Chain A
Amino acid sequence: DAMVIQNPRYQVTQFGKPVTLSCSQTLNHNVMYWYQQKSSQAPKLLFHYYDKDFNNEADTPDNFQSRRPNTSFCFLDIRSPGLGDAAMYLCATSSLAGDTGELFFGEGSRLTVL
């Protein structure tokens, strides 16, 4: 029944070692988002895809990249994780059809940087 699936749920990496987080969806939504949520803070939008069009937030560091090879999958690449990148990373989707603006979230991937 899960509609937005994130893997892995927990990821431990070393300082500077690249990490890839994945997100898949069964909703056939054309918009996919990546949010970063640090402890006790609101989720912060990193970027989103409208179909294959990539939209970066102005303050998203270059260390964060994303790929969307098809409608169902989206990846978040952190090229050189620093201690400050330890956070929960949330993937979400939305549809523009009959739109109410609602986003559907996965359960998140928690990244620990040693």
Chain B
Amino acid sequence: GNSVTQMEGPVTLSEEAFLTINCTYTATGYPSLFWYVQYPGEGLQLLLKATKADDKGSNKGFEATYRKETTSFHLEKGSVQVSDSAVYFCALSSDGEYGNKLVFGAGTILRVKS
């Protein structure tokens, strides 16, 4: 079945450091790929998405490129801020007869120190 594997956390960085959170997936067909962010006590917010191979999703300085050859969708940011501290979930969308379903990775906690 479809699955998502992302690097374990927590990831602790100093402000302005470079961020990479690895994500790989297993899927049949051509799923859409997503990164969602969850701030403490809140629901999930879409951070960025990519719908086909070689697409690059970007938002708020974060980027991820859909790599079909390596089945990866790694999240990167050149310079993190304290406000980026949150849990990041990689996800893929699997088509169902009755609507899409999101399959999530386990989440990676990011802590940014000032």
Contacts and interface: CB of A to CB of B under 8 A. Distances in A.
19 contacts: A33-B101, A41-B106, A42-B107, A43-B104, A45-B102, A50-B98, A90-B44, A92-B44, A94-B99, A100-B32, A101-B31, A101-B93, A101-B95, A102-B34, A103-B100, A105-B45, A107-B42, A107-B43, A110-B41
B73 interface: no
Task: Bin chain B's interface residue count.
Answer: 20 to 34
Interface of B: 31-32, 34, 36, 41-46, 49, 51, 89, 93, 95-96, 98-102, 104-107, 109
A12 interface: no
B99 A100 contact: no
Interface residues of A, number: 29
Contacts of B34: 101-102
Given A102-B49, A108-B43, A31 B100 contact: yes
A111 to B, nearest CB: 14
Contacts of B45: 105
A60 to B, nearest CB: 13
Interface in A38-84: 40-43, 45, 48, 50, 53, 55
